Amino acid sequence: MKKTVSRNEHTELVEAFSEFKDLKNIDRASMMSILEDVFKNMIKKQYGTADNFDIVINTDKGDLEAFRNRLIVEDGQVEDPSTQIEYSEAIRVEPDFEVGEEVSEKIRFSDFGRRAVLAARQNLMARVQELEKEGIFQKYKNRIGEIITGEVYQVWKKEMLIMDDEGNELILPKIEQIGADFFKKGDAVRAVVLRVEMINGTPRIILSRTNPLFLEKLFELEVPEVFDGLITIKKIVREPGERAKVAVESYDDRIDPVGACVGMKGSRIHGIVRELRNENIDVINYTNNTQLFITRALTPAKISSMEINNETGVVSVYLKPDQVSLAIGKGGLNIKLAGKISGYNIEVFRDMQDEEFDIDLDEFADEIDGWVIDELKAIGCDTAKSVLELSAEELVRRTDLEEETIRDVIKVLRTEFEKGA
């Protein structure tokens, strides 16, 4: 029984093609190649070969046509029906045809049957999706190191799903988020494209807000001189959300790289600090002078002297006692980041050369009663020197101690210093 000709099959193919032509991330050449390949496979299954078929694709209108080309031979001389046609059949198409000429017939997709057309449609869409995924992969692979803005779509325990402006899925893992980050669905997020992976044919785009590259790109956005290349960022080290050190350099003597990065009253760097959840950022002038660079890296501490051992990579830094805590920083972050940005292991020592010899009052507990020591500490005298700097009369006036007790204390303290001398 002859099948009834229907336009549904052709319509389905055209609709699939129309959907395909509007997809993004696919170039015209790739689109043409896939379409031609899919339809030639369908023709090959139906006719055994597709070598003598022409496929005409209109990418602008989203339409397609196929033509079958066969050679005209004498009646009864057909050896291959797929590539040859009898003369008597050919003149039904066009009476002027002669033996040896080629007949081109338009193929109706409805003749392939609904099952074949549906299979071709599925094959087409599968190939399209595969190509689109490859397009997304290549697009973001070329954007590694760039800042992108997306919208939070879903928040999970270990990662966050973000959608870009084209609806592509991006991943921001928990370990790539700043500790103080808190996002909910619908929030806008800025992050840097860290890496792009292809897992089971699906692109996985990983973002980061903790990578030093994110901070570098924020400087490019906020500081025109960095974006234009007038100021170069030599190195960045970070403890995300806590502290960062940025070494900058300018080859133009007229530009102060640190001042340009910070801005008038911190105007330029404030935006970056807010984006990084109040991360403290130290911008320092880069120099090839190792000693000077380490000195700048340990800011705000003031260094008395240092010894650099290039063989071991250890730097011994000497500071006055009141500068040690500044060099180390809260939680040891300052010295840790200074070591990272300089490439040296920094060790801190108290510089006692210029310090006068002094003794804590608690060291005299075997000679001076504890309550007397506590009375002296109450007025701020917690070392021997601090007591001896005041007269006996002043000590009597400022404490509840008797003059005789005060003079005994002074005698004990002076005796100890005379021994040391």
Give pLDDT tens digits for 224-264: 999 999 999 999 999 999 999 999 999 888 999 999 999 99
Q: Is residue 356 part of a domain?
A: no
Q: Which residue has 């170069």 as its token pair? A: 232
Residues 203 and 222 in one domain: no
Q: What integer pLDDT is reported at residue 77 of this predicted model?
A: 81
Q: Where are the alpha helices (DSSP H) in 96-252?
A: 114-141, 212-222, 224-227
Residues 381 and 268 in one domain: no
| pLDDT tens digits, 171-221 | 999 999 999 999 999 999 999 999 999 998 899 999 999 999 999 999 999
Q: Is residue 3 part of a domain?
A: no
Q: What integer pLDDT is reported at residue 21 of this predicted model?
A: 54
Residues 17 and 95 in one domain: yes
Last residue of a domain, one of 116, 137, 158: 137
Residues of the chain with pLDDT below 70 are 1-28, 59-63, 109-111, 352-357, 419-421
**Helices and strands (DSSP H and E) totals, the chain:** 15, 15
Q: What is the DSSP string of 340-355?
A: HHHTSEEEEEE--TTS
Residues 183 and 287 in one domain: no
Q: Which of 358, 354, 360, 305 is nearest to 327 (CA)?
A: 305
Q: What integer pLDDT is reported at residue 357 of this predicted model?
A: 63
Q: What integer pLDDT is reported at residue 2 of this predicted model?
A: 28
Per the structure, the count of domains in the chain is 4
- Sort 309 into a burial class: Cβ within 10 Å, 0-12 / 13-18 / 19+: exposed
Residues 203 and 227 in one domain: no
Residues 380 and 341 in one domain: no
Q: What integer pLDDT is reported at residue 5 of this predicted model?
A: 32
Last residue of a domain, one of 161, 180, 208: 208
Q: Is residue 132 part of a domain?
A: yes
Whole-number Å distance between alpha carbons of 384 and 365:
12
- Sort 314 into a burial class: Cβ within 10 Å, 0-12 / 13-18 / 19+: middle
Whole-number Å distance between alpha carbons of 71 and 80:
10
Q: What integer pLDDT is reported at residue 111 of this predicted model?
A: 67
Q: Which of 277, 280, 314, 279 is nearest to 300 (CA)?
A: 280
Q: What integer pLDDT is reported at residue 363 of this predicted model?
A: 80
Residues 323 and 396 in one domain: no
Q: Which of 116, 106, 134 is nearest to 41 (CA)?
A: 116
Give pTM, 2 decimals: 0.66
Q: Is residue 23 part of a domain?
A: yes
Report the CATH number that the domain containing residue 173 is assigned in CATH: 2.40.50.140
Q: What integer pLDDT is reported at residue 364 of this predicted model?
A: 85
Q: Which of 37, 102, 27, 111 is nearest to 71 (CA)?
A: 102
Per-residue burial over 219-244, b if 16 or more Cβ lie within 10 Å, else e, is: bbebbebbeeebbebbbbbbbbbbbb
Q: Is residue 1 part of a domain?
A: no
Domain that holds residue 99: 8-137
Residue 223: φ, ψ to 5°: -115, 105
Q: What integer pLDDT is reported at residue 4 of this predicted model?
A: 29
